[in-house]
Amino acid sequence: MGMNTWKICEEAYNEKLNKNYEGLFTQGNGYLSIRGSFEEDLSDATQNDRYWRMPANVTLEKQMHPKSKWGVFVPGVVGNHPILNEEMVNLPYILGLNIYIDDSRFDMEESDHDNYNRELDLKTGALSRRMKWLINGKKIELNFLRYISMARKNIIVQQLRVKSIESEVRLKIQSFIEGDVTTNGYNHFVVKEVSHNNGIIECYVKTDLEDEIIMMSRLLVTSGVKEEFQIIKDRVIHNGIINIRKGQEIVITKISVIKTNMDKETLGNLRITDVMGNPNFIDDAGLELKKAVDDVDKLYGEHVDEWKKRWDISDVEIQGDDRSQLAVRFSIYHLLRSVNEGNDRVAIDAKGAAGEAYFGHYFWDTEIYLLPFYLYTNPAAAKNLLMFRYNTLEAAKQNAKSYGYSGAKYPWESSISGKEQCSNWQYKDLEIHISADIVYAMWHYYRVTGDKDTLFNYFIDVMYEISRFWISRADIEKDGTYSIRGVMGPDEYLAFTNNNAFTNYMVKHALKRTLETLKMIKNEDEELYINKSLNLKISEEELEMMNRVMNKLNMPIDNDKHFIWQCEDFEGFVDLDFDKVWIDRSKPFGQFISQEKNYRSKALKQADVIGLLWLFNRDFDNEMVKNCMDYYEPITTHDSSLSYIIHSIVYSQMEDRDLAYEFFKRSLGIDLYDYGAAEGIHIANCGGIWQAVIYGFCGLNNLMVDEDIKLKPALPEGWERVKFRLLYNDRWYNITVSNDEVVLEYE
Amino acid sequence: MGMNTWKICEEAYNEKLNKNYEGLFTQGNGYLSIRGSFEEDLSDATQNDRYWRMPANVTLEKQMHPKSKWGVFVPGVVGNHPILNEEMVNLPYILGLNIYIDDSRFDMEESDHDNYNRELDLKTGALSRRMKWLINGKKIELNFLRYISMARKNIIVQQLRVKSIESEVRLKIQSFIEGDVTTNGYNHFVVKEVSHNNGIIECYVKTDLEDEIIMMSRLLVTSGVKEEFQIIKDRVIHNGIINIRKGQEIVITKISVIKTNMDKETLGNLRITDVMGNPNFIDDAGLELKKAVDDVDKLYGEHVDEWKKRWDISDVEIQGDDRSQLAVRFSIYHLLRSVNEGNDRVAIDAKGAAGEAYFGHYFWDTEIYLLPFYLYTNPAAAKNLLMFRYNTLEAAKQNAKSYGYSGAKYPWESSISGKEQCSNWQYKDLEIHISADIVYAMWHYYRVTGDKDTLFNYFIDVMYEISRFWISRADIEKDGTYSIRGVMGPDEYLAFTNNNAFTNYMVKHALKRTLETLKMIKNEDEELYINKSLNLKISEEELEMMNRVMNKLNMPIDNDKHFIWQCEDFEGFVDLDFDKVWIDRSKPFGQFISQEKNYRSKALKQADVIGLLWLFNRDFDNEMVKNCMDYYEPITTHDSSLSYIIHSIVYSQMEDRDLAYEFFKRSLGIDLYDYGAAEGIHIANCGGIWQAVIYGFCGLNNLMVDEDIKLKPALPEGWERVKFRLLYNDRWYNITVSNDEVVLEYE
């Protein structure tokens, strides 16, 4: 019997890994996300510290909160941090459940316990924990279970079963909501009100951006319980006191609701339009809680049904490698729980709403790493992720303007407003490929879904404004060619370079697809074309210019040598003796070199040219791929979690299945196996893992270019079979792949 | 009759220029510095706002406090700002004097007044203000006078004469000290205590770095006054109420003392050693105040005597151009009042302790712009400015180490600790020429004073550690030459360049003088050399390496074309159409371009290569100077106040006296004539103005190279004669220069 490939388990409590498990065990339903912290308070783990978090590289930062950080997030609820800008607010902790026996509080650090086990069931999104608590010679069995309803987006259900094995005990259950929670050391709440009312404890907060959040909890206990309510500072408490007989088990259920003034059905719209939203959201919360309490027996079933629907279309079954199977399901689980599929006003932040790192900001991860999974399994969700960019076009235009450029410059770090959130100028000013990546993703969406309507009516606006930006950003050279100078490519360890290959290639592609789409519209819907021309103020000169820049953009590609330079000036950077500098390879390279020296050295943070080889895999011949890989991989530090998985895919392209699997395994470690989830889930890597299986090992062809699905598998040793489903051009394909055969059925 | 060339006057109050005059009228004695704010409160000019000041370019920042910002500074008293790091703390306002007639308070904005005049007497450092106040049909003459004693460094004297011209009035004089003052929007006081005691009002504050400051004031009034004391929040008030008869003038004197726990005779030592300093500084302050009160009739005389001593050796007399004369005296005044001549633990900050901008940080200004004035008039002060660097050597070594380099990397922005204070990585990481500039200045000091003792015993330590830094910072090229890559030169509008000519030339010079000095020590004092070898761990390999880097450092100089490239990669930056971008030349160029575009364009902020032509004026032939000037000046924006004056000097070198004078006049405008002093005095420009007269127009030869003083004047049209004194190699020279003759007398 192999391992259970649906469950992530923690078999012993370890203070040093607790934060990692908080990240791994994050639960959610797209609307709401909660880290896997314990229900009860933990010794020496303050949650309201005040400090100045600077926007440093999260890889190199000294960790605050070494042991535990709660995280209750409604992505879209952002506050205004003076340095970090709009950041996703860590909301009051609603899961609170302390347990007392004879006035001793249960505490994971202080209390004796054995038979500990905690596990997250990926299939149902339910998190359970059990242990025996040894207190004053008594033995108490504790069983926790909780889930965030996938069926009712505002509802959280917790269950606690307490059994006294050997004696009668006096039990106090303390349910609480704690309002005094800071986000990255900052208090975003200008109003905090805790109260209790008719057996319900409530916490209302108002953020510094005037978002309002209401939380309510109701404790359901058997009769005979003595109930008390308390307010201590910003914590509202509901105590239930009961005697348990020897051998008796009592069951406590806590049902909670979270709503914000921005909710309609789900968090629906931009702050600015949503003052209209729902003035009675507090009343609504009360009604919804009441309904959930009434329906208490149905809640789990309907929740599991919803998860089942998702797994039915999303699961990737790997036969012959349980370790990979579990990690792939783990990745898909987080992809499923972090997308607010019906909402086109929020996207998915870099940590998948599973931590405070990166401040809830949105990066190119969405377009390049995350999109394919949704595109092939839930195109409506994929569309909304891209519609988020459409909905923030105005902010991107303002951003371009603030730099003196035309069109739309999308922010390196976005938030719900679509304004630039990045506090480090070198990224926000120079890492501009994001604005071409978006066009790539929109074209990708169109190619896989065939949804011309969205392309013609919405995406083209974004594409045109982005192309307009690029022609104003490119500089003409004396020989009539064009250059893009002063940029940072995906490799963030070179800050200031000229004609970065990745960026320029993406820009060329963006211009090409924009012109192509316009031509399609013109051919297929002349009236629409006229409207677009008017609305976008399309001019012949501009189209001409887009065409010229597309054709004459300099590309540091040496066709004779079959080699792509990362940038035109790459050779001018300094060679490093890696063995001398990187003395401990178990730690990131960046810890052993100053940013200053790094910025002038040939040491890559992550795939740059290699990314190009992956995204445009049909454009480069095998020799070029090999030359680039041979040159760049040894000087790539993979300090970014975005790096391994691309290497895995490109090694698959090269049919080097050993190296492809090697890098795949390293990717699986990033969150799951190497304890990297303390500050949140590397959600882009999750999306990448899906791609590495589907594109890499199973060899799905590039449908950006091809018409029909084809697969050319090169499964790692030991993998017998991979089964999954894909939705392509409105048709579901059931695919089974082994090294010997590909079975493609469609419905 | 020409203008008074010793007085800066304000003839009418103008709300928009008030802050500028606060800067221009800054008084001080090196230990203490106070902006020229009014004694009384001003409407709508809060002094305790809280906000987040970011370390943006001060040229481009939107001004806070549009009308008035008090400034009471004891340079060396710094607080710990979470973003700006150590910043000079704006201390409680000690000059407070409100005036009431019949319960109406005098206010420059609200009260009717005429016959207004305010003037700063540069000769005595006394600031006076007079006006007639028209109140309820009454006419009151007000005459203010104040000075910070140059004889008693802790004492401030204020005098107010009030005369009622036409009627009897009831006058209330309200002396106050206000403790609620923020610095750049931040409160640095963890303790604030105001009190009154035996007729003295007191304010004690303790900063977030545990510096303690005591302020005491005593009001001396004629008898018959009714006295009252009040405390309102952090303000302590001493009211004196008196009836004035028609025609009667009463005289009020306010004497104040400021002391800190770091004072010995003057602010003497680093915080860390000074807990030993003076535990009774509060008692001492009381005694010193009492003594000043007892000596009240002597105070002004002894103060003026001290100023006279300074002017006797420092004045530069210009006959034939009163406007320049006044501006040159204005510059010298600020140079005299901002140097704490007996103290080697503080230096002179970028705003001459006349404002909060630049946070009281020390830059290369000291070594390159300010030093020559002190060097030739007050070498003890010059020595202390350089000993400040010696005293912070340990911090510079730590700084180098933090980057992974050997030796000492001096901070781009220093404060009393000597640690890097700059919050922008591109400056602190890349603008590294500072560490070579210091060697230049030390050599300069040695050459002008002949003080071998200091060179051998102290400066060599700094020079050696700096040279050690440079050889670890330089990269070897394939051809065996060395390069310094990834630097920002003095031109801060190109952030990331290779082999910046200014930097590399300075580095070559630093290595040369270090090796030369070591050779001198070896020849002249073998025992000392052995000691130094041991202490500094000098090795032959290192000396060899210094020699090699010195000889083989790449220099982007084209000897055929007689041209110096600003950096090796200068041609790769983008050409700008200045007329298109810089649409309003009355504003800084930087306001019309994003930093991003600026960093990749050929637009200079300030002299870079041109600075080299000035500092090493004997190394470059006329053709090279001309070619460089012709190429760079048109693409130089002079957005930095450090730029004009170097251009003036180099135009003098080129014997183009019209352009030299043109740029000189622009420099005079920076603070004095063009209202630029709102945020403080551009003290480097003051030092530059002195140099432009002495080196530029009067043509003093380069005594870094020559042995004997020689002058080759090229005075601007209209300048009949310039007279000044210089101390060179311990001998005072009285110099009179005209276009026809040079008279050099020595004592």
**Mean pLDDT across the stretch A670-694?**
97
Q: Name the B residues in 558-597 with CB < 8 Å from any A CB.
A: 569, 572-574, 593-597
Residue B271 predicted with pLDDT over 80: no
Average pLDDT, chain A: 94
- What distance in Å separates the CA atoms of residue B223 and residue B245, rounded to the nearest whole number? 14
User: CATH top-level class for B7-295?
Assistant: mainly beta
pLDDT at B281: 87
**Mean pLDDT across the stretch B360-374?**
97
Nearest CB partner across the interface for A596, out of B83, B403, B600 = B403
Smallest CA–CA separation between A485 and chain B, in Å?
7
Maximum separation of any 2 CA atoms in chain A, in Å: 90
CB A26 within 8 A of CB A674: no
Residue A1 predicted with pLDDT over 60: no
For B20, B54, B195, B275, B632, the CA distances from B208, given in Å and listed in that order, are: 30, 19, 21, 15, 46
For A690, A742, B427, the CA distances from A316, given in Å and listed in that order, are: 8, 15, 50
Domain segments of chain A as ranges: 10-295
Residue A270 predicted with pLDDT over 90: no
CA A581 to chain CA mean position, Å: 32
**Mean pLDDT across the stretch B254-263?**
92
pLDDT at B52: 84
Residue B1 predicted with pLDDT over 90: no
**Mean pLDDT across the stretch A512-524?**
98
- State the amino acid at position A656 in one-letter form: D
Give the pair of three-digit tokens for residue A279: 């003035």
Query: Coil, helix or strand for A556?
Result: coil
For A116, A688, B392, the CA distances from A326, given in Å and listed in that order, are: 21, 15, 57
**Do residue B594 and residue A496 have CB atoms under 8 angstroms apart?**
no
Say what the pTM is. Answer: 0.93
Determine contact: A496 vs chain B, CB below 8 A.
Answer: yes
CB A678 within 8 A of CB A355: yes
- What distance in Å separates the CA atoms of residue A310 and residue A316, rounded to the nearest whole number? 12
Residue A74 predicted with pLDDT over 50: yes
| Residue pLDDT, tens place only, A521-564 | 999 999 999 999 999 999 999 999 999 999 999 999 999 999 99
CB A632 within 8 A of CB A609: yes
A639: burial class by Cβ within 10 Å (0-12, 13-18, 19+)? buried
pLDDT at A275: 44
For A199, A456, B41, the CA distances from B109, given in Å and listed in that order, are: 60, 61, 10
Residue A280 predicted with pLDDT over 90: no
Region of B260 please: left (phi>0), alpha (psi -120 to 50) or beta. beta
Which chain A residues have a beta carbon less than 8 Å from that of B596?
403, 425, 429-430, 486
pLDDT at A656: 97
- Chain A residue whose CA is closest to B426: A596
Residue A265 predicted with pLDDT over 50: no
- Domain covering A10-295 assigned CATH 2.70.98.40 in the classification: yes
pLDDT at A51: 87
| Residue pLDDT, tens place only, B536-548 | 999 999 999 999 9
Query: Coil, helix or strand for A180?
Result: coil
| Residue pLDDT, tens place only, B574-596 | 999 999 999 999 999 999 999 99
Residue B476 predicted with pLDDT over 80: yes
pLDDT at B268: 41
Give the pair of three-digit tokens for residue A229: 């309510």
pLDDT at B469: 98
Instruction: For the beta carbon of residue B708, count every other beta carbon within 10 angstroms.
Output: 9
**Mean pLDDT across the stretch B181-202?**
96
Range of weakest confidence among A17-21, B162-166, B219-223, B426-430: B219-223
Supply the DSSP string of B531-581, one letter for each residue. Answer: HHHHHHT--HHHHHHHHHHHHHB---EETTTTEE-SBTTGGGSBP--HHHH
- What distance in Å separates the CA atoms of residue A26 and residue A143, rounded to the nearest whole number? 19
- β-sheet bridge partners, residue A215: A203, A258
- Best of B53, B600, B601, B602 to mutate (most A CBs within 10 Å, chain A): B600
Query: Coil, helix or strand for B433?
Result: coil
Residue A62 predicted with pLDDT over 70: no
Instruction: For the beta carbon of residue B316, count every other beta carbon within 10 angstroms.
Output: 22
Question: Could you give the strand order of the β-sheet that contains B742-746, starting from the edge strand earlier in sequence?
Answer: B317-319, B721-728, B731-737, B742-746
Task: Give the position of tokens 């006058």.
Answer: B171
B153-177 burial code (b ≥16 CB/10 A, e <16): bbbbbbbbebbbeeeebebbbbbbb
Average pLDDT, chain B: 94
Q: What percent of chain A has a predicted confidence (pLDDT) above 90? A: 91
Which chain A residues have a beta carbon less than 8 Å from that of B602?
none
Determine contact: A718 vs chain B, CB below 8 A.
Answer: no
pLDDT at A266: 42
Which chain B residues have a beta carbon less than 8 Å from that of A82?
52
Nearest CB partner across the interface for A600, out of B82, B486, B569 = B486
pLDDT at B340: 94
Residue B152 predicted with pLDDT over 70: yes
- Best of B406, B409, B425 to mutate (most A CBs within 10 Å, chain A): B425
Q: What is the DSSP letter of B371?
A: H
Nearest CB partner across the interface for B572, out of A425, A498, A593 = A498
**Do residue B596 and residue A498 have CB atoms under 8 angstroms apart?**
no
